[in-house]
Amino acid sequence: MTLDTTAYNSLYKTYREGALTHRRFKHQDVVALVKIHEAKEILQVAEIGKSVESRAIYKLQYGRGDKKVMLWSQMHGDEPTATQALFDIFNFLEGEDDGFDSIRNCLKDNLTIHFIPMLNPDGAERFIRRNAQYIDLNRDARANQTIEAKLLRRMAEEIKPNYGFNLHDQSIYYNVPGTKNPVTIAVLAPAYNTEREVNDVRKGAMQLIVGMNNLLQQYVPNAVAKYDDTHSPRGFGDNFQAWGASTVLIESGGLKGDPEKQEIRRLNFAIILNALLEIAQDSYKKYNYKAYDDIPFNASQLHDVIIRKIDLGTDSVPLKTDIAIRRAELTVERDYCVRGWVEDIGDLEGTYGYDELDVDGLKFVQGKVYPQVFQTVDDISNSRALELLKEGYIAVRVASRGSDRLHNLPLVVSAHAEFVPTAKIVLTGTSNFFLGDGATLKYAVVNGYLIDLSRPPQENFYKNWIN
């Protein structure tokens, strides 16, 4: 009994949890959904403990089979992609009469599945990696200093799972070695000892990953890699492997055009459900575990923007070089803005960008501040913003920030009269400037976003902040 990508896509479309649409959801959103599932009485719901700040941590259980599977997500509060996919899977498990009841029955009869969808609710509330005590829960498997780590350890001891799934997000700046492809999904069969030996338990995890990779290559060819397999005695995945559970780490990475990772969420839905089905049928055992070694390890050579052969010289000192630009996310309530800066300058051959541009023949041009003061950002349309950029204005001023300081304009917006655009490309410096040939401005870089001035700017793409 197998499913193909068409079936997984159909199921995802049907059962996608519509209450979760962005990464910065809160604990209260999860609680509301858990209560809905509890009322349906198909998944067994239990509050298994509370966080440092007394937020409830839940486990949802499905099935009555002999094989025990344990999945935990969001032990890092700012890594929520798989959490959303778990709720999609919950909806599927509660479905019926859709042509897939045989799949549910197979899972129900062969597996007992234990899901912990948000292990670190305090971190999720702040959208930070660590818990409220600033401890990394995934480095607390050995010492068990935190409430949340003790809880996960207790669940492992009580459930004694045969299989484990450790669900995370990784940096969007990992790439597949030798390519500009972002690593969309990274996987790992964690090592249970420093020698990284392969016993039957770890071999099972490797076989599961081979099956996942086979499916992923149909979705995102050449966009899968392995996470670093150095043994970490403090890490939960390594310890679950040592405790006898064939454990798979899934890391949701990057995909161009998917800033909220909703496409990557769909991939999580497919590969997790597929792995559960393969465990239920023992079909993963058909894979040659040595094919796991064919998956490359993450490389770390990716940036948001690479501009090559930019002329940064003066009349007396010529310089034609490359620059890399990075955009950092800054959380604002349930949303975020970015801060763009110059990450590197020099010979960047062998590094890559989500956006890359060879500007041989173009020079750095300092932008200007538009002299007219607008009342609010609502007075400026995207088309007007493009006109201003073409005239050399990189920034505008507003009289009022308004109630929401976030905006989607391809401009720097400031409520301060003293704002000065980038005057020179310097390491860690700001990234608000133009590229031109001396007669015409060709490109703008606004807060780390590369904008082609010959094209309309993207709608609702820029995540900027009124200074």
Task: Supply the CATH number for residue 346's domain.
Answer: 2.30.40.10
Residue whose entry in the numeric block shows the structure tokens 């964690």: 190
Q: Are strands 335-346 and 352-358 parallel, antiparallel or unpaired?
A: unpaired
Q: Verify that 164 and 270 share a domain, yes or no.
A: yes
Structure tokens at 89: 């899977």
Last residue of a domain, one of 253, 273, 294: 294
Q: Could you tell me if 317 and 245 lie in one domain?
A: no
The DSSP letter of residue 211 is H
Among 230, 264, 294, the domain boundary falls at 294
State the Cα–Cα distance between residues 53 and 57, nearest whole angstrom. 11
Q: Where are the beta strands (DSSP E) in 55-200?
A: 56-62, 67-73, 111-116, 163-169, 185-188
Cβ atoms of 209 and 247 closer than 8 Å: no
User: Do 283 and 407 reside in the same domain of the chain?
Assistant: no
CA 167 to chain CA mean position, Å: 11
Q: Give me the CATH number covering residue 167.
A: 3.40.630.10
C-alpha distance from residue 283 to each of 210, 211, 269, 275, 277 (Å): 12, 9, 19, 9, 8
Pair (208, 139) in one structural domain: yes
User: Contact, 451 vs 387, CB < 8 A?
Assistant: no
DSSP assigned state of 105: H
Same domain, 286 and 394: no
Is residue 316 classed exposed, middle or buried when 0-12, 13-18 and 19+ CB atoms within 10 A define those classes? exposed
Query: Domain check: are 181 and 219 in the same one?
Result: yes
Q: How many domains does the chain have?
A: 2
Whether residue 289 is found in the same domain as residue 395: no
Domain stops at, among 265, 294, 323 = 294
Pairwise CA distance, residues 281 & 270, whole Å: 17
Closest CA to 93 of 295, 280, 323, 331: 280
3-state secondary structure of 306: strand
Residue carrying structure tokens 């001023």: 397
Query: How many Å apart are CA 46 and CA 29, to the nearest integer?
Result: 17
> Do residues 328 and 287 both lie within one domain?
no
Please tell me the predicted confidence (pLDDT) of residue 41: 97
| Cα angle for residues 169, 170, 172 (degrees, 5° grid) | 115
What span, in angstroms and rounded, lies between the C-alpha atoms of 415 and 126? Answer: 27
- What beta strand segments (E) does 408-452 contain? 412-414, 433-436, 441-446, 449-452
The count of residues in the chain is: 467
What ranges in 65-199 are assigned the alpha helix state H? 81-93, 101-110, 121-126, 147-159
How many alpha carbons fall within 13 Å on the CB side of residue 230?
3
- CA atoms of 442 and 448, how far apart (whole Å): 16
216 with 331, same domain: the answer is no
Going by C-alpha positions, the residue among 245, 185, 239, 247 that lies closest to residue 216 is: 185
The token duo for 124 is: 């999720």
Q: What is the pTM of this model?
A: 0.96
Residues 345 and 268 grouped into a single domain: no
* One domain for residues 243 and 360: no
pLDDT (0 to 100) of residue 313: 87
342 shares a domain with 204: no
8 A C-beta contact, residue 223 and residue 255: yes
Per residue of the chain (467 residues), what is the pLDDT tens digit? 899 999 999 999 999 999 999 999 999 999 999 999 999 999 999 999 999 999 999 999 999 999 999 999 999 999 999 999 999 999 999 999 999 999 999 999 999 999 999 999 999 999 999 999 999 999 999 999 999 999 999 999 999 999 999 999 999 999 999 999 999 999 999 999 999 999 999 999 999 999 999 999 999 999 999 999 999 999 999 999 999 999 999 999 999 999 999 999 999 999 999 999 999 999 999 999 999 999 999 999 999 999 999 999 888 999 999 999 999 999 999 999 999 999 999 999 999 999 999 999 899 999 999 999 999 999 999 999 999 999 999 999 999 888 789 999 999 999 987 888 999 999 999 999 999 998 999 999 999 999 999 999 998 899 999 98
Q: 374 lies in which domain range?
A: 302-465
Provide the 8-state DSSP code for 370: E
